[in-house]
Amino acid sequence: MPSHHAPLAGRAAIITGSGRGLGLAYALELARQGASVVINDVDETAAQEAVSAIESTGGAAVAVVAPVGPTSTADALVAAALESFGRLDILVTNAGVLRDTVLWKMSDDDFDTVIDVHLRGTFTCVRAAATHFRDNGVPGRIVCIGSPTGQRGNFGQTNYSAAKAGIVGMVRTWAMELKKAGVSVNAVIPVAATAMTATVPYFAAAVEADAAGEPMPDFFRHDLGFGTSDDVAGLVAYLASDAAADVTGQALGIGGDRLQVWSHPEAVATAYHEGGWSFDTLTADLPGLLEGNLQSVGERFPALPESLVRPAPHA
């Protein structure tokens, strides 16, 4: 049961996509820290089960079953918090879908669906919450969920990488726009066992251990920074608390035993040419500027220890 002295006691939070997986872990942790929670999911059964899980430990929760993206859903989420709990203090934007395929096979619908849920859904929900915070003098906390794919790129995820990179870009802008109102906005970059990683052979030994309720091997938790949903939830709760009141505009990575501060993009090399850069001057000088400064793409994973290699599943 949440304590009246818990860091988030008396606060109310909205967590999108919180019927299962990472979103559910965030909801349970915020409730443990004292917050009342608006659960959101498109699966009514999952949403109601999440509410029941929170209520069974003495917490307070309600469900809004609706897809994020439309402004109407964002408005309904804010209304649910105000009607059920009389306030809104925290927003965590976690809802998402995947439509993975390579660029030349990706349909308009594949692209639009992922952008609508991840990027537009984050925008509409944050706009609704931020408007409430500013209009009512609430020093709100906004936590938007990014991904390593948005930071580094990933094969077959044009739509997802665009959405997740866009989310972090919006977070930086919102941190500036909402600073005067005392509202913090941060991004969390989780690395955890999810439905997506469960299908990747590289993570098979970690996923197996998690499913069996056993500790993940140290290689995953420490060397790779890969863990469970619960490993991520503490950071989300921290950023939602007064302890993080002065932290804003940041992208923080977490997974397993590892915590990271992601840098914002910065120029790594600079050159000048009086009168500007023509094709000829670029041909002559750009190779020298690029030498040693070309940036890598995608994530690079170390080789699995032999004891953790699992056979690839048969098609």
pLDDT of residue 110: 98
pLDDT of residue 315: 46
- For the chain, give the percent of residues with pLDDT over 70: 97
Q: For residue range 129-146, list pLDDT tens digits in order.
A: 999 999 999 999 999 999
Confidence of residue 241 (pLDDT cuts 50, 70, 90): very high
Rounded mean pLDDT, 42-52: 98
Q: Please check whether the domain covering 12-192+228-262 is classified as CATH 3.50.50.60.
A: no
DSSP code string of the chain: ---TTSTTTT-EEEETT-SSHHHHHHHHHHHHTT-EEEEEES-HHHHHHHHHHHHTTT--EEEEE--SSSHHHHHHHHHHHHHHHS---EEEE-------B-GGG--HHHHHHHIIIIIIHHHHHHHHHHHHHHHHT---EEEEE--HHHHH--TTBHHHHHHHHHHHHHHHHHHHHHTTTT-EEEEEEE-B--TTGGG-GGGHHHHHHHHTT-PPPHIIIIIS--B-HHHHHHHHHHHTSGGGTT--S-EEEEETTEEEEEPPP--S-----TT---HHHHHHHHHHHHTTTPPP-S--PPPPPGGG--PPPP-
Look at 307 and 135; give whichever has higher pLDDT.
135
217-241: average pLDDT: 96
Domain ranges of the chain: 12-192+228-262
What pLDDT score was predicted for residue 313?
60
Mean pLDDT of 234-245: 98
Mean pLDDT of the chain, nearest integer: 95
pLDDT of residue 211: 86
Amino acid letter, residue 45: T
d(CA 133, CA 125): 12
- Please tell me the number of Cα atoms within 13 Å of 43 on its side-chain side: 14
**The two structure tokens encoding residue 97:** 């879908």
Please identify every residue annotated as catalytic. Answer: 147, 160, 164
Whether residue 32 contacts residue 58, with contact meaning beta carbons closer than 8 Å, is answered with no
Looking at residue 4, its pLDDT comes to: 53
Q: What percent of the chain has pLDDT over 90?
A: 88
Residue 190: pLDDT above 90?
yes
CA distance 74 to 67: 9
Average pLDDT, integer, range 182-191: 97
Residue type, 138: V
Q: pTM higher than 0.85, yes or no?
A: yes
Residue 86 has pLDDT above 90, yes or no: yes
Confidence band for 201, pLDDT divided at 50, 70 and 90: confident
**Are the C-beta atoms of 106 and 204 separated by less than 8 Å?**
no
